[in-house]
Chain A
Amino acid sequence: QVQLVQSGAEVKKPGASVKVSCKASGYTFTNYEINWVRQATGQGLEWMGWINPNSGDTGLAQNFQGRVTMTRDTSISTAYMELSSLRSEDTAVYYCARSKGDYSSIWYAIPESWGQGTLVTVSS
């Protein structure tokens, strides 16, 4: 079955960077888009961007352009989201989510299977 397992919680100081991983299993990693979404405590969902694990192409929300890097390592079926210049407002749970369908389907852009989330705390 499809599984996305994310890395553990992180505590970072303002100005630092964090890199969250999302290890996929149960399907062909390169065929399905991965989205990254974050959620501050008690707040809504904030879409950050997508990565095409096959090509490495990304599409990012403007809010994060210049601060976020999305990459992947196809040899270990893992996607990464790195956020730099952290500030307290970046404290949130970060989720990866795989699309419902592969790139040959009409469902390629619909997040369906989600990781468990990674809490990133930014505090001095």
Chain B
Amino acid sequence: DIVMTQSPDSLAVSLGERATINCKSSQSILYRSDNKNYLAWYQQKPGQPPKLLIYWASTRESGVPDRFSGSGSGTDFTLTISSLQAEDVAVYFCQQYYATPRGFGQGTRLEIK
């Protein structure tokens, strides 16, 4: 099974500052035939289901603010929020959909400093 590990577990950032969350897979999730990384990022606020933010590691979902960006390839990935807003307080999860089981990272809790 591919294991997804996020870091840090929690993060406190000042409003307007950059937030960076990392996700590492135990094996490459880059599919050579289409050169795509099979990784998604989700945001979850209390009492709500997860919301898809980014897929293919760096493609922003429609309607997601452009302060959210994803990067990385192979086994190492990053979600960056360029200028933290109050509404970004949430837990963020990465997920690989390269192979079954399609595991999630353990989550990173993002708070305001």
Q: Which residues of chain A have a CB within 8 Å of any CB of chain B?
A: 35, 37, 44-47, 49-50, 59-62, 95, 97, 100, 106-107, 109-112, 114-117
Interface size on B, residues (CB 8 A): 24
Chain A residues, CB < 8 A from B36: 106
In the bound complex, CA of A112 to CA of B104 (Å): 14
Smallest distance from the beta carbon of B42 to chain A beta carbons, Å?
A: 8
Residue from B44, B49, B105 with most neighbouring chain A CB atoms (10 Å)? B49
Smallest distance from the beta carbon of A56 to chain B beta carbons, Å?
A: 16
A109/B49 contact (C-beta < 8 A), A47-B95, A47-B103 known: no
> A50: which of B51, B93, B100 is its contact (CB, 8 Å)?
B100
- The digit string for B69-113, where 1 denotes a CB below 8 A from any CB of A, is 000000000000000000000000101010011111111000000
In the bound complex, CA of A44 to CA of B42 (Å): 12
CB of B66 within 8 Å of the partner chain: no
Chain A residues, CB < 8 A from B105: 44
> A45: which of B1, B61, B100, B107 is its contact (CB, 8 Å)?
B107
Residue from B38, B42, B61, B100 with most neighbouring chain A CB atoms (10 Å)? B100
Chain B residues, CB < 8 A from A49: 100-101
> B102: which of A35, A100, A106, A107 is its contact (CB, 8 Å)?
A35
